[in-house]
Amino acid sequence: MHPTVHALRAEYRTDSAFVGTDRPRLSWKTATTAPDWTQRGAEIEWRRESDSTVARVDGRDSVLVAWPFEPLRPRERGQLRVRVDGSDDTTSAWSEPLEIRAGFLAETEWRADFIAVPEPAAGQPMLLRHEFEVREGLRAATLYASARGVYQIEFNGVAVDDERLKPGWTAYQHRLVHETTDVTELLRPGRCALGATLAGGWYTERYGFHGEAKPFYGEYPSFAAQLLLEYADGTSEVVATGEGAWWATAEGPITASGIYAGESYDARRASPGWSSPGFDDDGWSEARIDASRVSRPIARTAPPVRRVEELAVKDVIVTPSGRTVVDFGQNLVGHLRIRVSGREGDTVVLRHAEVLEHGELGTRPLRHAKATDSYTLAGARIETWEPAFTFHGFRYAEIQGWPGEFDPEDVTAVVVGSDLERTGWFTCSHEPLNQLHDNIVWGMRGNFLSIPTDCPQRDERLGWTGDIQVFAPTAAYLFDCDGFLASWLEDLALEQSQDGAVPFIVPDVLDSVRTPAAAWGDAATVVPSVLYERFADRAVLERQYPSMRAWADHIAAIAGPRRLWEGQFQFGDWLDPDAPSDEPGKAKTDPDIVASAYLHRSAALVARAARELGLDDDARRYDTLADEVRTAWVREYVTPAGRLVSDAPTAYALALMFDLVTDARLRDNLGERLAELVRRADHRIGTGFVGTPLIQDALVRTGHADTARRLLLQTECPSWLYPVTMGATTVWERWDSMLPDGTINPGEMTSFNHYAFGAIADWLHRTVAGLAPLEPGYRRIAIAPVPLAGLDRAATELETAHGRASVSWEVSDGRLLVRATVPPNTTAHVTLPGSDPLDVGSGEHTWTVDDPRST
């Protein structure tokens, strides 16, 4: 069979033809049944109208290949095709064409002003409208729009797309993004109207804790758009905010809107036809130009936020106090859609929470977030409504004020999040483990909403750097999050201080950059490294390298000549299960041990990045720094017998997994001590955010796979599976977010949807199932399953940048059967129990060896 080329894409996005850069990198996959197939080269054809150009790329590169043509010009469009020739001396047919459109504007082409209502109240939602003429012969209409706030646009009464919470959350003071949308089909010759609904969203939200939240960016939202109309005769026109008469009102049907508070909608205030031509806008005021400084918006490259799934009510509960609560059977992120009929003025109130506590809605963990939506009826026969500019984390919703008899079929949970493609799966014969993995997937899905958040429900929902630092490898397996995290990293670099400090959160609405913290700031070095390892995204590594280096230099300067980061504020091994509920940073592992270990890791990652980028002098410099920190760490914290002065599991896991201890005898002793600590704790987890992603690898690599197995399968609190036994459908923030008696943890900080402890999934994929990257983008794959007692089978699949890879194993009658799929244009290094390693090419493979657990 001749190879076929498919899955052609430009840069990150697959949902739109628009690209945000003038040199979009290209990726494609090849399907073939030929074994051991590799690509020898590829031809790339770029066609614009009657003109076409073909470029030749020699070698195996098929992932994020540099644009081989002249840079795209603003608004340029064309079609791209690829064909490949391979090691089997065959050449594929041309792929299906991929439409590519330049979605960016030249630096001088953005001319739209940001506008708002004349006298806005703080955070007040508003409507904006403008009428314009469209001539005959319209060939194309392209909309560029942005906001300091969140918005949706309609033309002649029809929404331009299905995206939510546009333009998303970036570090607004440094970087604003705009959408680019083809709206040709929404316009017709004659009089047309553009209508925009605008709310404050993240821009006007109040940030802070303990009742001291305050605005960070601004007190009112503003909106900007420019519509390019291109005609068949070669002429064009621009319709832009700030030019001509734009009308505004704060008297629309959305009466209040906030990320934390929720949204209120009064259908009696709706004005049918407000976004259509000819609407009587008497009572509206002319919009004013927002004169405050605004950075020029740039084209968005991250995937948009969308409705991604819907769930029906699973159960209706009448609480002990007589309240009606609906249960969707799944902790999720999004909102409700209701279908209701009643009298004019009837108001339905929807309160959201993740759990029930003693039968009632458990709202205490929300802290100051009201998480409440309300809908006031117009009195029509049937009315359907869902909020537009807020989201909640919830499994349960309390329904108040429902007119007439309540029917659960009239309420739907709408799951909202960044629209990421699912890429990774894991299953095994142990159903609680399968549920744990599902919980991790749902936790990521809910917390990857415009930025990687810590939690989606309380008065926080912030981009905590420590959480994504530990979770990034798992995230990169479960979903195609390269573009999502690459965009967030741009803001991380912009939010760094001049001396290289990295904030606790990005965007940094808490002004936390003044206080560096290990494992949190190290997201600057870890996340770009993960994106390179898992997606072969070298451009991100190159772009973020100055940020990576600045962070390493900053913490090295703090450490000084002793090469130890000591005596300063640290989060440490955050949420160690032995920490007091109101002091989550009081872990067993000394925070200085954690800090200096991460100094070593970041120095090593910068050295590795420098080598990849050809910066040999930098590579030697940071290798030297890493060696100096390692020597100091061992001298200060490791005894000659192989004990650590902080005798806790996380300390041993750091020593082993960060290669701080390289002496083979000492490593064996450290591994023995780690296993002993786990056994002494009756195989209950003893690590927090820092140690949890490392402990299982540390046990397996030092010969204690059975100890890792018992730790993994433990169901008593604290453990990975304890929340599963309590009915959890997402990963909890604390090991004991809910106590065994059904009481919510008494700590001030408790969430039931936090992905950090879900970092265990990366180990399930790489080690239990046995699929890991050996070269960037999985061009070379490691197949090395570790069968655990208590499991009869395990399997994982990953849609890599080259195609679908999979590994599965099952045991029967003392034999271990391993099956694997290696995608075309990749190879694999296979390590099976009791067998010599071997290398294989692409194709389907099967091996049978003795079950190592039966010998």
SS3 of 370, please?
Answer: coil
Locate the DSSP E strands across 409-494. Answer: 411-418, 424-428, 448-449, 451-452
Angle at the Cα of 633 from the Cα atoms of 628 and 636, rounded to 5 degrees: 125
- Sign of the Cα torsion 279, 280, 284, 289 reads positive
Provide, for the chain, the percentages of residues in helix, strand and coil under a 3-state DSSP scheme, each rounded to the nearest 5. 25, 30, 45
Catalytic residue among 733, 797, 799, 810: 733
437: tokens are 């993995």
Known catalytic residue: 733? yes
Q: How far is CA 568 from the centre of its chain?
A: 30
From CA 373, how far away is CA 351, in angstroms rounded? 7
Instruction: Give the number of C-alpha atoms closer than 13 A to the C-alpha of residue 131, restricted to the C-beta side.
Output: 11
SS (H, E, C) 117-183: CCCCCCCCCEEEEEEEEECCCEEEEEEEEEEECEEEEEECCEECCCEECECCCCCCCCCCEEEEEEC
Tell me the backbone φ, ψ of residue 441, rounded to 5 degrees. Answer: -60, -45
449: tokens are 């909403």
Among all chains, which residue has been given the structure tokens 């109309």?
A: 229
Q: From 1, 28, 5, select the one nearest 93 (Cα to Cα).
A: 5
Instruction: Give the number of C-alpha atoms closer than 13 A to the C-alpha of residue 372, restricted to the C-beta side.
Output: 14
From CA 298, how far away is CA 104, in angstroms rounded? 7
Known catalytic residue: 386? no
Counting beta carbons within 10 angstroms of the beta carbon of residue 409, is it exposed (0 to 12), middle (13 to 18) or buried (19 or more)? Answer: exposed
CA dihedral 377, 381, 387, 388 (to 10 degrees): -120
Catalytic residue among 460, 490, 628, 810: 460
548: tokens are 């990576």
Among all chains, which residue has been given the structure tokens 């031809």?
A: 43
Q: Which residues contact 833 (CB under 8 A, 6 or more apart)?
A: 787, 816, 849, 850, 851, 852
Give the residue numbers marked as catalytic. 460, 733
